[in-house]
Structure 1
Amino acid sequence: MRRRGFLGAAAGAAGALALAGCEAPPQPIEGGFTGVDVARGHAMRDGALRSQAPASVRRTRVVIAGGGVAGLAAARALRLAGIDDFALLELEDTAGGNARGGSVGGIACPLGAHYLPTPGDDAHEVQDLLEELGLRRRVAGRWTYDERHLCHSPQERLFFRGEWQDGLLPVHDVGDGTLAQYRRFAQRIDALQHAAHFAIPTLRFAVTPELLALDAVPFAGWLDREGFDDAHLRWYLDYCCRDDYGAGIAQVSAWAGIHYFASRHGFHAPGDASGSVNDSNPDRDGVLTWPEGNGWLTKQLAAPLGERLHTGQVVTRIAEGRGGVEVDAWDAASKSLVRWQAERCIVALPVFIAARVVENPPPLLTSAAAHVRYAPWLVANVQLRGPLADRVGAAPSWDNVIYGTRGLGYVDARHQTLDPTPRGTVLSWYRPLGPSSYDTGDGRQLLLERPWTAWRDELLAELSVPHPDLPALATRIEITRYGHAMSIPRPGLLAQIGAHGDRVAAGRLSFAHADWSGYSIFEEAFTRGHIAGASLA
Structure 2
Amino acid sequence: MPRLSRRACLALGGAALAAGPLGCAPSKDAPGYPATWVGASAERGHRLRSPGPAGGWPAAAVQRRASVLVVGGGVAGLAAARTLVQAGIDDVHLLELEDHAGGNSRAHRMSGMACPLGAHYLPLPGPDAREVAELLEALGLSRQQAGRTVYDERHLCHSPQERLFIDGAWVDGLLPPAPAGSPTLAQYRRFAQRLRELGAELRFAMPTLGSGWQAGHDALDRQTFEQWLQAEGLDDARLRWYLDYCCRDDYGGGLAVVSAWAGLHYFASRHGFHVPGDGEVEREPVLTWPQGNAWLTERLAQALPDRLQAGRTVLRVSESRHEVRVLAWDEARQQAEDWTAGHVVMATPLFIAARLLAQAPSGLVEAVRQQRHAPWLVSNLQLDEPLQGRRRDAPPSWDNVRHGGDPRALGYVDAMHQSLRPHAGPTVLTVYWALPIAQRSALLQDSAAAWAARVVADLAVVHPDLPTKLRRADLMRWGHAMSVPVPGLRGSAALQALGRAAGRVRFAHADLSAYSVFEEAYTWGVRVAGRLAGELRSRRVS
Do the structures match in fold with TM over 0.5?
yes
Choose the corresponding residue for 1:148, options 154, 158, 163.
Answer: 154
Is residue 138 of structure 2 the alignment partner of residue 136 of structure 1? Answer: no
Q: Which amino acid aligns with 1:394?
A: A
Match of 1:110 in 2: 116
Choose the corresponding residue for 1:531, options 515, 524, 527.
Answer: 527
How far off is 1:84 after superposition? 2.1
How far off is 1:500 after superposition? 2.4
Match of 1:77 in 2: 83
Match of 2:239 in 1: 233
* Matches of 1:493 and 1:528, distance apart in 2: 17
Match of 2:413 in 1: 411
Match of 1:398 in 2: 398
* Matches of 1:11 and 1:357, distance apart in 2: 33
**SS at the partner of 1:411?**
strand
How far off is 1:506 after superposition? 4.1
The percent identity for this pair of structures is 53
Contact 2:350 2:368 in 1 (8 A): yes
Contact 1:374 1:434 in 2 (8 A): no
Match of 2:216 in 1: 210
Alpha-carbon displacement from aligned partner over 1:309-363 (angstroms, at most 9, x marks no partner): 1111111111111221111111111111101001110000100010111111122
Alpha-carbon displacement from aligned partner over 1:374-400 (angstroms, at most 9, x marks no partner): 000110000001111013311110000
Contact 1:390 1:466 in 2 (8 A): no
* Matches of 1:186 and 1:329, distance apart in 2: 51
Match of 2:20 in 1: 9
Match of 2:38 in 1: 34
Contact 2:85 2:92 in 1 (8 A): no
Evaluate the alpha carbon distance shift between residue 499 and residue 322 of structure 1 in structure 2; reply closer, same or farther with a 3 A threshold: closer
* Matches of 1:516 and 1:109, distance apart in 2: 28
Q: Which amino acid aligns with 1:431?
A: W
Match of 1:66 in 2: 72
How far off is 1:369 after superposition? 1.2
Is residue 264 of structure 2 the alignment partner of residue 258 of structure 1? Answer: yes
Evaluate the alpha carbon distance shift between residue 408 and residue 151 of structure 1 in structure 2; reply closer, same or farther with a 3 A threshold: same
Q: Which amino acid aligns with 2:261?
A: W
Contact 2:364 2:494 in 1 (8 A): no
Choose the corresponding residue for 1:45, options 40, 43, 49.
Answer: 49
Q: Which amino acid aligns with 1:329?
A: A
1:8-407 superposed matches below 5 A: 8-9=19-20, 12-13=23-24, 28-48=32-52, 51-171=57-177, 176-273=182-279, 275-276=280-281, 279-280=282-283, 285-391=284-390, 392-405=392-405, 406-407=408-409
Contact 1:198 1:259 in 2 (8 A): yes
Structure 1 runs of 4+ with >6 Å offset: none
* Matches of 2:393 and 2:422, distance apart in 1: 19
Contact 1:498 1:516 in 2 (8 A): no
Q: Which amino acid aligns with 2:186?
A: A
Match of 1:21 in 2: none
Q: Which amino acid aligns with 2:301?
A: A
Q: Which amino acid aligns with 1:520?
A: S
- What TM-score, normalized to structure 2? 0.91
Single out whichever of 493-502 and 129-138 deviates more from structure 2. Answer: 493-502
> Runs of 5+ in structure 2 lacking a partner?
1-16, 534-542
Root-mean-square deviation (Å): 2.0
Is residue 480 of structure 2 the alignment partner of residue 484 of structure 1? Answer: yes
**SS at the partner of 2:410?**
coil
Match of 1:3 in 2: none
Contact 1:384 1:426 in 2 (8 A): yes
Contact 2:363 2:495 in 1 (8 A): no
* Matches of 2:285 and 2:215, distance apart in 1: 32
How far off is 1:48 after superposition? 2.6
Alpha-carbon displacement from aligned partner over 1:278-334 (angstroms, at most 9, x marks no partner): x42xxxx21000000000000010001112111111111111112211111111111
**SS at the partner of 1:55?**
strand
* Matches of 1:268 and 1:257, distance apart in 2: 15
* Matches of 1:123 and 1:88, distance apart in 2: 24
Is residue 439 of structure 2 the alignment partner of residue 443 of structure 1? Answer: yes
Contact 1:318 1:328 in 2 (8 A): yes
**SS at the partner of 1:401?**
strand
> Runs of 5+ in structure 1 lacking a partner?
1-5, 18-23, 436-441
Alpha-carbon displacement from aligned partner over 1:149-204 (angstroms, at most 9, x marks no partner): 01011110000111110100000659701111111111111111111000111111
**SS at the partner of 1:477?**
strand
How many residue pairs were aligned? 511
- What TM-score, normalized to structure 1? 0.92
Match of 1:20 in 2: none
Match of 1:421 in 2: 423
